[in-house]
Amino acid sequence: MKKLFLLISLSVMAVLPQANAAGPSIELDKAENNLRDQDSLQRGAQLFTNYCMACHSIKYMRYNRIARDIGWTNEEVIAKMSFNQAKVVDDVLTRMEPGVGTEVLGTEPPDLSLMARLKGTDYIYTFLRSYQMDEEGNWDNSVLKGTSMPHVLEGVQRYSSQEEYDQAARDISNFLEYVGEPAKLERHDLGWKVIAFLLFLLLLTWLLKKEYWRDIKH
């Protein structure tokens, strides 16, 4: 027992310096997304189109899948997201030509298809609301210091109330959460049905067991 206690103590002591070296974690604001809010998803899709697709793609999504899931027709999604420049079966790609990102920003902007699953929607929501201008008039982000991404929503923020801007950031994070897992709501709804079926099956099994053992003395 003493050897086990000593081993656990040494393991904890070995982990503590690494935890301290990592520094304090960033406190994220709650996005409070709602994937069932189609109005929010539609606003998020349009905000993403107008302010994000110039640099970023969501290449694992097709226009017709987005239309089906968020309540648009095929014609509407093409008009609103590609400005009639793509086919409904096309992947949703950035409008930026290859190599331009590296030349202008110093790095190639990432595809955002799985960003919500990688970082979480709270991170995206907090990141979009954390741009600050320094004394020299340059934008930086307190969540990701030295980010290459400019404050693309500056115009939205400037001409909106804080509540309206928070909602815009929430709509974008909501849309990216949907993009990261389009079948999430279907999976959740199916999960309840499976659980209900298993509980019903358990009840039938228990009743059957009682019937089999009814005349047997214990």
Domain ranges of the chain: 38-180
Supply the pLDDT for residue 108.
92
Confidence of residue 7 (pLDDT cuts 50, 70, 90): very low
Tell me what the mean pLDDT of segment 97-115 comes to: 92
pLDDT of 75 higher than 90: yes
Pick the CATH number of 38-180 from 1.10.760.10, 1.10.3720.10, 3.40.50.10320, 3.30.230.70: 1.10.760.10
Greater confidence (101 vs 116) lies with 116
Q: Which tokens in the block code for residue 31?
A: 């996005």
pLDDT of 18 higher than 80: no
Average the pLDDT over each of 48-57, 128-137, 160-169, 189-198 and give the range with the smallest value. 189-198
Please count the other Cβ atoms lying within 10 Å of the Cβ belonging to residue 197: 10
Residue located via tokens 């079966």: 89
Could you tell me which of 65, 91, 63 has the C-alpha nearest to residue 78? 63
Supply the pLDDT for residue 14.
45
Supply the pLDDT for residue 213.
82
Query: What pLDDT, in 10s, does the model give residues 175-196?
Result: 999 999 999 988 877 888 888 8
Supply the pLDDT for residue 25.
74
Supply the pLDDT for residue 9.
52
Tell me what the mean pLDDT of segment 196-212 comes to: 86
What are the distances in angstroms from CA 85 to CA 3, 60, 69, 74? 69, 18, 21, 13
Share of the chain above pLDDT 90, in %: 65
What are the distances in angstroms from CA 7 to CA 4, 18, 161? 5, 18, 56
pLDDT of 209 higher than 50: yes
pTM: 0.80
Confidence of residue 218 (pLDDT cuts 50, 70, 90): low
Greater confidence (164 vs 10) lies with 164
135 torsion bin: left (phi>0), alpha (psi -120 to 50), beta (else) = alpha
